[in-house]
Structure 1
Amino acid sequence: MMRTSRQALTAVLATVLATTAACGSGEEAATKLELSAALPDRVPSGATLRLGDPQLQALIGASGLDSELDDAGITIEWANISGGPQSIQAFRADKLDCASVADIPSLFAAWTGTSTKIVFQSVTVDPLEHPIYKLGVAPGVGVASLADLRGKKIAYSAGQAQGALVLRVLQKAGLTQKDVQLVELTSTGDSYVTALGSKAVDVAPIGAQNVKLYEAKYPGATSISTGIRDDASTLYCLTSAVEDANKAAALKVYVAVRTKALLWSNDHPDEFAKAYYQDTQGLSEKDAKAVVEINGDKAIPATWDAAITRLQETADLLAKEQNHDKLDVNTLIDRRFEEVQADAAGAAVVTGDAA
């Protein structure tokens, strides 16, 4: 009985000490939040989020919506990180809670043992009119349609959105990997453009905003459209972050603010161009405005059903073509934030997924 009493007393003292330490640091002790539980309505004192979301960082500041984060008592530790490879590395080092990416990184995080959840989905209005990527064609190479890809050297990055796009393009063209030569390249900065210009590859997916610059830099260079929707845009987080009650409460506020900021950018394209592309990316005023126009307006879907269907199709394709395990993408989605987005968008929410 005495041993049991001592054990119980030790447990109580440990709890008290942990709570005292948290209060002393101005931060409430976090409790684990089950993924099936409702998101907390109250943001606790000292709630902090570590975010790799550079574009939205600029938008939130330019729109004045950062005041809503301040009013909620949320501290944001911004990191100049986005995209799959950087964010997964930061997740593994426990240096980041969430990052802005396309949909592919969530798949590769799962396949490589990093548990994440998607908490935000946005789409492009008229996505086929405003693609994220086009297929750049090297100078002197004859590619006028997807059928012409047969036998060509195509830049390929297995773990990135560009790699998935290449596989989807081949599928649409009725081709297989054996019908082309996939050249493994990591797409960082202008590496694909350089590879095209030097004719190391015949074809490579390049950002639509870079097409004019590419064609001007390399005489004889051309490009074609993929005809494939590639506008997936998400915010994904470590599962441990959304299981942390403090961070989950802060994320609920952040997702709402992020939604409002994204919609604000549609109505303030010049301010968006200056705040992000000009002031942080170093583009000229003319080029910054051109990029915003090329990228098109963004929309918040009323439901994530269509996005999940597309992600499952992509996961199935990658599992087959890259020898990954089959994956149920519903395990990667935290649909509690679906309603948070829709409520924040209000009348601006779109049905039909802007397809």
Structure 2
Amino acid sequence: MLSQRFQSRILNIFLRFFQNFQQRKIRIFSLLFAVGIGLVLFVSACSSGTNQQATTTPTEQATSTPNQSPAVSSNTVRIGFQKAGTILSALKTRGDLEKALAASGASVTWSEFPSGPPMLEAINSGSIDFGYTGEAPPIFAQAAGTPLVYVAYDPWSTKAEAILVHKDSPIKTVADLKGKKVAFAKGSNTNYLVVKALEKAGLQYTDIQAVTLQPADGRAAFEGKNVDAWAIWDPYLALAEKATGARALTDATGLAPNRGYYLAAKSFVDAHADTLKIVLDEVKKTSDWAKNNPSEVAKFLAPALGIDAAVLEVAEKRRDYGVLTITDEVIAKQQEIADAFYKIKLIPKQINVKDIVWRN
């Protein structure tokens, strides 16, 4: 038999153990309870945030989803330009548009693009309101469902784009391009020049190895002789001729109109036609100045473009200028380009150019 004293000691040990165990249970339960409350609050907050986000998501999606233009700012015109695009580059540098818009309480922002297609992608995404490209990009954009509008055109020049080969190239005619690598910016005006030049030479578009590159990459590929030919526009054309002695197989004469187009987001045209007219008026003033002062334009743009003024002057003197109303004849020529692209499956569906022409 255990002594009473020993039994008492054993009993005390069990009692302390039980008390400690109960205290631990309480602490553990309290901890679990606190964690549970925290999780409930967190989930509740997340749910609240999700519900709040759900009320704003449609608007945010409308801003970023292609083919849906966002609400147009009433006091800011967002313009896309190409550094090599004479008129808008000059307009930006001169600051005349800012002054004209200020009188109506509006302002302007500028975004630079390497060529027309990415600029029109920006219109599609709702990032810009207005821009200028060659004749082919708006056709690709319309076929893709971009909500844009032709608002004016620029006659430019058939001499201002060409298909170049190296000065020592054995390629003498467009027909000699069969099986060769030809670089150009996909969806650009020179894309159409290549199509028409091949057609005239009795070749199919599939007879060449098309290498689609933006101007800077195209120049590097051409100068590095990684491609056999390069279809390009001024002033890159004039620069390549001067820097490398490149030969032109053909320019656009008799092949493509090589017009430029001023384009705007449909939402901007619908909401701010008066502001658009101010923009076009200032563009025309700059165009008139450029037409009468090719040497001044060249000197003015040389620092921004990093191209010698003498080279730019060559480009300026072989182009035309204007901010002209789009006529039925102009529409018909654009339709010819669209039909040609559809025929060779460069665009997925037939389009009607006249459907997106601004009738101001």
Fold equivalence (TM over 0.5)? yes
For 1:206 and 1:143, the matched residues in 2 are separated by 17
The structure-2 alpha-carbon separation of the partners of 1:319 and 1:136, relative to structure 1 and needing over 3 Å to count, comes to same
- Aligned partner of 2:90: which letter? A
Spell out, residue by residue over 1:158-191, the C-alpha distance to the aligned partner (whole angstroms, 9 max, x if none): 322222221111122222124x2222322232x2
For 1:212 and 1:256, the matched residues in 2 are separated by 29
The structure-2 alpha-carbon separation of the partners of 1:270 and 1:71, relative to structure 1 and needing over 3 Å to count, comes to farther
What are the equivalent positions in structure 2 for 1:1-355 lying under 5 Å apart? 47-53=75-81, 55-59=87-91, 62=94, 64=96, 66-81=98-113, 83-124=115-156, 127-128=157-158, 131-178=159-206, 180-189=207-216, 191-211=217-237, 213-215=239-241, 217-218=243-244, 221-226=246-251, 227=253, 228-244=255-271, 247-275=272-300, 277-294=301-318, 296-301=319-324, 304-322=327-345, 324-336=348-360
For 1:306 and 1:60, the matched residues in 2 are separated by 31
For 1:91 and 1:159, the matched residues in 2 are separated by 15
The structure-2 alpha-carbon separation of the partners of 1:253 and 1:301, relative to structure 1 and needing over 3 Å to count, comes to closer
The Cα shift of 1:233 comes to 0.8
The Cα shift of 1:284 comes to 3.3
For 1:144 and 1:293, the matched residues in 2 are separated by 27
Q: 1:41 maps to which residue?
A: none
**TM-score normalized by the length of structure 2:** 0.69
Larger helix percent: 2
For 1:255 and 1:90, the matched residues in 2 are separated by 20
The structure-2 alpha-carbon separation of the partners of 1:197 and 1:188, relative to structure 1 and needing over 3 Å to count, comes to closer
For 1:302 and 1:184, the matched residues in 2 are separated by 35
Spell out, residue by residue over 1:299-329, the C-alpha distance to the aligned partner (whole angstroms, 9 max, x if none): 3446522221111000000001125211111
> What percent identity do the matched residue pairs reach?
24
The structure-2 alpha-carbon separation of the partners of 1:160 and 1:212, relative to structure 1 and needing over 3 Å to count, comes to closer
* CA contact 1:121–1:304 (8 Å) conserved in 2: no
**TM-score normalized by the length of structure 1:** 0.70
For 1:57 and 1:211, the matched residues in 2 are separated by 18
Q: Which secondary structure does the structure 2 equivalent of 1:53 belong to?
A: strand
For 1:199 and 1:264, the matched residues in 2 are separated by 38
The Cα shift of 1:104 comes to 1.6
Spell out, residue by residue over 1:65-103, the C-alpha distance to the aligned partner (whole angstroms, 9 max, x if none): 654333333311222236333213322432211111112
- Aligned partner of 1:91: which letter? I
CA RMSD of aligned residues (A): 2.7
Q: Which secondary structure does the structure 1 equivalent of 2:264 belong to?
A: strand
The structure-2 alpha-carbon separation of the partners of 1:326 and 1:261, relative to structure 1 and needing over 3 Å to count, comes to same
For 1:72 and 1:82, the matched residues in 2 are separated by 31
Spell out, residue by residue over 1:221-240, the C-alpha distance to the aligned partner (whole angstroms, 9 max, x if none): 42222333343111111112
- Aligned partner of 1:290: which letter? V
Equivalenced residue count is: 281
**Structure 1: gaps spanning 5 or more residues:** 1-44, 337-355
- Aligned partner of 1:187: which letter? Q
The structure-2 alpha-carbon separation of the partners of 1:163 and 1:119, relative to structure 1 and needing over 3 Å to count, comes to same
Q: Which runs of 4+ in 1 moved over 4 A?
A: 63-66, 215-219, 300-303
The Cα shift of 1:263 comes to 1.3
For 2:239 and 2:325, the matched residues in 1 are separated by 36
